[in-house]
A and B are shown apart, each in its own frame.
Chain A
């Protein structure tokens, strides 16, 4: 089981995550820069570009999605438990039962076997290589993050960007030392989880907010897309015309 305490965030932590995610994906500053420099904009009207509006990671539904992921951690627990058993005793579930050792010896295989599920990158793991649920993966990082935020005290969006960058490169002096957990491991996993939602694979937000990042990137891939040959011909014509257009 995964205790609820590990899967439910308090307001303080949620607030930190919303700001950190904006530091990791500074959508508002990016769009502001694009507007200023007349760079790519979505072809349709979009609400976050209206006067007085902006776009944040929170607006896209990614943080809520992340909380849902944590809540779903309970579903991962049985597999994690089983794999921990296999790691401890790799031949435990062999259908060859007691003959497994002799079978291996006859084939010249090593006496001691290993189960490489973590090494193969197929499971989330703790710093010492034990398979772990998503909630338990994050659990030891939360207090470190709170402490680092308290010490670094990022005051504005630019500070949060710098803070995220420092975490990614394990260079933040605010990240607690004398412990084995690296900030980069945390940020990489958090970014991976947020990206699922930011790129609209699974996303609880309403349209068009759920696809806002895709719209701004010029990515037209959408779950459930459908086109005809004539659409493709039209897109080729537009592409060719654009190639001939001035920069």
Chain B
């Protein structure tokens, strides 16, 4: 392609989605993906089942793992603790394959709540913003509202074939104590619609023994659970027709507000491809779904497959982009430069000219690429904001229950994907501890969603225990117990702090001599408070099983273990912040349409732009925002106003 209209870097929920939309609108699109295409079987109906796709070692433990940590690429970690030393580590990578993180994600498909877009206003009204600021946090509102995203959420859920029970999810939100308490706040009723009526495109995923167990525990503790919305064509469903699902979503849009792009005939938006339902094989999160015609949702089985039909789009896997080319004179990007690493030992430099560049590499690598590009301080970084406010959620925080030995073999953790039932009951949690802390007492603090979580990967667990020093009967005993374990996991919101950031490591480089990303991270008082407050909330979810005699002592670590806190180095696909979206160029990297303030023909379209990070999984919001930005680009271009 001589000159693309748009060069899109990264093919997951952000890049893979907006690339499709722009190409479908007629733009010339060049999509560059660092990794290979490992899902070609999805296009070949007659290919035999390949057991390698269900190989836990290959997909979780192997080093270097081609799909997850491409050879030679790694990151470094630096704790904010005084005296901490920087270390290379294997965390903070999303998948580097065509489809990106959407290939190996866990399929938990939440849309954010209206209050998530107004946290700054909320905490200002409750008087907590002053405390948070004193603690070192920067908690702004998003420059866009839930209402602006809502129609795009509907379309995103259609692309993802989300299985769920809308009424149950809404009830989980509106029955929560925090929701009731916030009714009296001025901002709350204006934040947006907490009870969307758009039905999930698929019936909810089957409730597994793990989900059933936690569901009962939640109910007994007064929490309102719901089947976890999941990005899968539900088992037992008819074949999924994305075209029809999109039309159902568009029908929810007010006719006069429907953007022109979405008014085109259904067949001009999407092909007549269908997708098959999930067969509950259980190799989902971290694995490549083998299901024919893509039961597990990813851009690879939806938008990228559609993109391949279009002659005005070019998809280039194995393209390691190392520079957004920047013209100092015009202050604009002119294209991208990349290494073709199809043969990684003999990479070749290529250049792709483009009128616009869209960076969608995930919050760590998007920040890294901007800092590698442009003037020495980095592209779009005149206000020293690129890389700041990194948020990763509080992974590793939850409660693990070990059932009695009579339950050996009955938990059936192999069924379906990792999560199953969930609740919004403690999305905010109140500090009612005595003695009272004047800064925090009586206030509701942001926590997140709680989800029942099956212990899916016995090899990973056994290997971890082995590396910790267990061997012999002790190791086998541990492996037996793993079979009887389940978890309630909190997807906790870590609020943004400037000190938590992604930068170029001054010393460590990748295989091709480019600085790797350094992640500097620590927990602040808000997270420490949350760990304390959530302890009891997690514990009470298991009390029912003491009452019925299955468990007898929740303080016995052999029955229940509650993590003291999250693990700061446990950084996965939930990467947010680093290229904050905002109206003020001094305090943000991109504007409300995700254009770099400094370089308006460069867009960042992924979770990097999230000003705050929710207490739930970001994929649906990433895709909804990509659809929003893409739609704006199309409509703006048609209007002749240009994109800046």
Task: Tell which of A107-115, A135-143, A148-156 binds the partner.
Answer: A107-115
Question: Does A115 lie within 8 Å of B511, measured CB to CB?
Answer: yes
**Chain B residues, Cβ within 8 Å of A106:** 376
A73 to B56, CA, bound (A): 20
What are 5 A-B interface contacts by the 8 Å CB criterion? A26-B473, A117-B64, A121-B89, A122-B90, A192-B463
Neighbouring A residues of B349 by C-beta, 8 Å: 95
Most chain A beta-carbon contacts within 10 A, residue among B471, B504, B510, B514: B471
Complex contact A122–B473 (CB within 8 A): no
Cα separation A13 to B213 with both chains bound (whole Å): 48
**0/1 interface trace, chain A 15-30, chain B, CB 8 Å (1 if under):** 0000000011111011
Most buried by B among A113, A165, A188: A113
Q: Mark B49-65, 1 if CB is under 8 A from A, else 0.
A: 10100111110010110
Q: How far is the CB of B345 from chain A (nearest CB, A)?
A: 6
* Given contact pairs A121-B63, A224-B281, A114 touches B509 in the complex (Cβ within 8 A): yes
Whose C-beta in chain A lies nearest to the C-beta of B469?
A168
Q: Find chain B residues with CB under 8 A from A110 CB.
A: 506-507
> How far, in angstroms, from A27 to B473 measured CA to CA in the complex?
9
B6 proximal to A (CB < 8 A): no
Which A residues touch B411, using CB under 8 A? 239
Does B406 count as interface, using CB distance less than 8 angstroms?
Answer: yes
Q: List, in ascending order, chain A residues with CB within 8 A of B475's CB.
A: 24-25, 191
Give the chain B neighbours of A240 by CB distance below 8 A. 212
How far is B514's CA from A161's CA once the two chains are assembled, in angstroms?
48
Q: How far is the CA of A30 from the CA of B456 in the complex (A)?
A: 23
Find chain A residues with CB under 8 A from B64 CB: 79, 117, 122-123
New contact pairs (10) apart from A27-B476, A120-B90, A224-B281, CB-CB < 8 Å: A40-B405, A94-B514, A120-B75, A164-B471, A217-B458, A218-B483, A221-B456, A221-B458, A225-B280, A247-B404
Interface pick from B147-155, B202-210, B392-400, B553-561: B202-210
Residue ID in chain B nearest A170 by CB atoms: B469
Q: Find B472's partner among A113, A165, A192, A242 (CB 8 Å cutoff).
A: A165
Give A203 to B469 CA distance when docked, in angstroms.
25
Judge whether A113 and B513 touch: CB under 8 Å: yes
Q: Which residue of A86, A202, A221 contacts B57 across the interface (Cβ within 8 Å)?
A: A202
Q: State A29–B477 Cα separation when bound (angstroms).
A: 12
A95-B349, A195-B462 given; A225·B414 CB < 8 A: yes
**B624 contacts partner chain A, Cβ-Cβ < 8 Å:** no
Q: A109-B504, A195-B463 are in contact. Are A242 and B406 (CB under 8 A)?
A: yes
Question: Counting chain B CB atoms within 10 Å of each CB, which of A43, A90, A236, A240 scores highest?
Answer: A236
Please tell me which one of the listed residues B88, B213, B280, B516 contacts residue A232 in the complex, with CB atoms under 8 A apart.
B280
Q: If A119-B87, A192-B463, A235-B209 touch, does A187 touch B345 (CB 8 Å cutoff)?
A: no
Binds A, one of B28-36, B66-74, B430-438, B589-597: B66-74
Asked if B342 lies at the interface with its beta carbon under 8 angstroms from chain A, I say no
Counting CB contacts under 8 A, is A196 at the interface?
Answer: yes
Q: Is the CB of B509 within 8 A of A91?
A: yes
The answer, among A43, A108, A114, A218, for a CB contact under 8 Å with B508, is A114
CB-defined contacts of B458 to chain A, threshold 8 Å: 199, 214, 217, 219, 221
In chain A, positions 207-247 with a C-beta closer than 8 Å to chain B are 214, 217-229, 231-233, 235-236, 238-240, 242-243, 245-247
Which residues of the other chain, A, contact B206 by a CB distance below 8 angstroms?
Answer: 229, 232-233
User: B281 touching A226 by the CB < 8 A rule?
Assistant: yes
CA gap between A8 and B632 in the complex, in Å: 63
Residues of A within 8 A of B618 (CB): none
Chain B positions within 8 Å of A116 at CB level: 74, 76, 88, 508, 516
> Chain A nearest CB: distance from B219 CB in Å?
14
Whether A229 lies near B236 (C-beta < 8 A) is yes
- Whether a CB of chain A sits under 8 angstroms from the CB of B415 is yes
Whole-angstrom distance between the Cβ of A37 and the nearest chain B Cβ? 10
Q: Does A83 sit within 8 A of B, measured CB to CB?
A: yes
Name which residue of chain A comes closest to B338, CB basis: A95
> B572 within 8 Å of A by Cβ?
no
Which B residue's beta carbon lies closest to that of A95? B349
Tell me the bound Cα distance from A205 to B272 in angstroms.
Answer: 44
Query: Which among B74, B413, B470 has the greatest number of chain A C-beta atoms within 10 A?
Result: B74
List, in ascending order, chain A residues with CB within 8 A of B466's CB.
188, 191-192, 195
The proximity string for B residues 435-468 relative to A, scoring 1 for CB distances below 8 Å and 0 otherwise, is: 0000000000000000000001011001100110
Measured CA separation A227–B416 after assembly (Å): 9
Contacts of B408 in A (CB 8 A): 39-40, 218
